Amino acid sequence: MTWFDEARLDDPGALALVDLRLRTLAESGARVRREAALAADAVEDAVARARDLDRPRAVVAAGPDSRLLRAVLEPWCPVPFVAWPGPALPGWAGSLDLVVVLAPDGDDPATASAVAEAVRRGCQVVVACPPTSLVAEHATGRWTTLLPTSSADQLATAVLVLQFLCRIELGPQTDAESVATAMDAVAISCSPHRDLDVNPAKMLAIALADTNPVLWGGSALAARAARRVAESIRRATGRAAVAGDVDQVLPVLEATRARTVFDDPFADGSGELRPTLLILDDGSDDPVLGAHRRRLEETASGRGVRTEWITTDETAAGRSEVGRYASLLLTGLYTAEYLRVGLVDD
C-alpha cells in the first residue's frame, strides 16, 4: 500500500534522497545565464550575418525539441513558421528559408540528419548544440551558424535561440536574464529549506497526493508546461496524470462520480483515486481561454472535484512569455519531486 507522509517534506533525511534532483532544478536559472554568456559572441555574429541577408521566406524549426519553439513563435513570427520534429525537412525547404535546430545533447542521429539535409539544400541554418558533437559535425556549411551550448538543458538552449530570433525580428521579446530571474524566484519560493506552510510546491504536492491530477493550461505555452508537468508527475509517482485541451479534460471531469452528503472521506472503499483539476495559469487575458477556464471550474465543482492552480510570479517573470512558461514549468517540476519524497510504500 502506498500512502503520503507530508512530514517527509520537511525532513532533512528524506529530502537528502532527492538532493541532486532538487539542486538541478535550483540551478535552472544559472544554466540559462551560462548558455547566454557562452554563446554571446556567436549570437552577435549570427545577427550580423542575418541582417546582410533578405528576410527568410519561412522558418523551419527542426528536430525533436521544435515543439517548444512552435509554442512561442507561431503567434508572433511574421513569416510562415513550421515545426518539423522528424529526421528530415519539408520538401519545399530551400535556400530562401531559415532552419533552426535545438540539439541540447548534440548526439541525436535524426537531428544530425536533418541538419545535414538543410546544409545540402543551401538553407540558412542556425544550430544550438555542443561544439564537439555529432550534430555540430554535420552543421558545417557556408550559411550555417553554430551557437555553442554546454548543457543538455532544453529550455536554456531554447532561450538562446529565441534571443537570436528576437534580435532579427522573427520572434517575440526574449531576454535570458528575465527568464533566469523568473526561475530563480521559483527556486527560492519552492526551496526544500522552506517549510511546507509557505512553500507552494510542497502545498500542491499535498493537495495532489491522493488523487490523479488532470492538468489544463490555456495558452499554447501553458498547455506545453502542463504536458511536461504531467509527464514528470507520472515518472515520479507511477500514477496516472493527464494533460490536454478543454475538450479532452472535460470528459474526464464529467465522468467522475459526483460526491454526495453520504460519502465518507475516510472510508477505504475501493481505493479509487479521484481526479484533481490542476490549472496552469500564465496570466493570459484571452476571453476564450477565460471562458474555457470557467467551464472547467464549474464542471469540477459540480462533480465534487477539487481545483488547484499553478500561477506565475508576475513580478519576476514580467512581460516575458518564456519567463512565465519557465515559472509554471519549474513550479510543477518541484511539485513532482515533492510527491516523490512524500509517497511511501508500506
pLDDT tens by residue, the chain, 346 residues = 788 999 999 999 999 999 999 999 999 999 999 999 999 999 999 899 888 888 999 999 988 778 889 889 988 899 999 998 877 899 999 999 999 999 998 898 989 999 999 999 999 999 999 999 999 999 988 889 999 999 889 999 999 999 999 999 999 889 999 999 999 999 999 999 999 999 999 999 999 999 999 999 989 999 999 999 999 999 999 999 999 999 999 999 999 988 766 665 555 445 578 999 999 998 888 899 999 999 999 999 999 999 999 998 766 556 688 999 999 999 999 999 999 999 988 6
Q: Which residue has the cell 477505504?
A: 268
Within a domain: 142: yes
Q: According to the model, what pLDDT value does residue 268 have?
A: 47
Distance (Å, rounded) from C-alpha 183 to C-alpha 267? 41
Residues 310 and 215 in one domain: yes
Residues 67 and 215 in one domain: no
Query: Quick one: cell of 211?
Result: 488523487
DSSP letter (8 states) at residue 270: T
Which amino acid is it at 118? A
Residues 212 and 327 in one domain: yes
Residues 216 and 279 in one domain: yes
The dihedrals phi and psi of 59, each to the nearest 5 degrees, come to -115, 130
- Tell me how many domains the chain contains: 2
Residues 49 and 78 in one domain: yes
**Domain boundary pick from 103, 132, 148:** 148
Within a domain: 154: no
Contacts of 7 (CB under 8 A, 6+ apart): none
Containing H/E element for 176? helix 176-189
Residues 203 and 271 in one domain: yes
Within a domain: 35: no
Query: Quick one: cell of 278?
Result: 490542476
Q: According to the model, what pLDDT value does residue 263 have?
A: 64
CA 310 to chain centre: 13
Range of the domain at 272: 2-28+179-345
Within a domain: 153: no
Would you say 216 and 279 are in contact if contact means Cβ atoms under 8 Å apart?
yes
Residues 131 and 185 in one domain: no
- Of 124, 165, 160, nearest in space to 141 by CA: 124
Would you say 43 and 168 are in contact if contact means Cβ atoms under 8 Å apart?
no
Residues 128 and 191 in one domain: no
- Of 5, 124, 140, 1, nearest in space to 62 by CA: 124
Q: According to the model, what pLDDT value does residue 8 have?
A: 96
| Dihedral (Cα; 26, 29, 30, 33), 10-degree rounding | 170
Within a domain: 172: no
Residues 17 and 111 in one domain: no
Residues 246 and 318 in one domain: yes
DSSP letter (8 states) at residue 272: P
Within a domain: 248: yes
- Of 68, 63, 48, nearest in space to 99 by CA: 63
Residues 247 and 285 in one domain: yes
Would you say 118 and 96 are in contact if contact means Cβ atoms under 8 Å apart?
no
Residues 87 and 186 in one domain: no
What is the CATH classification number for the domain harbouring 44? 3.40.50.10490
Within a domain: 227: yes
Within a domain: 328: yes
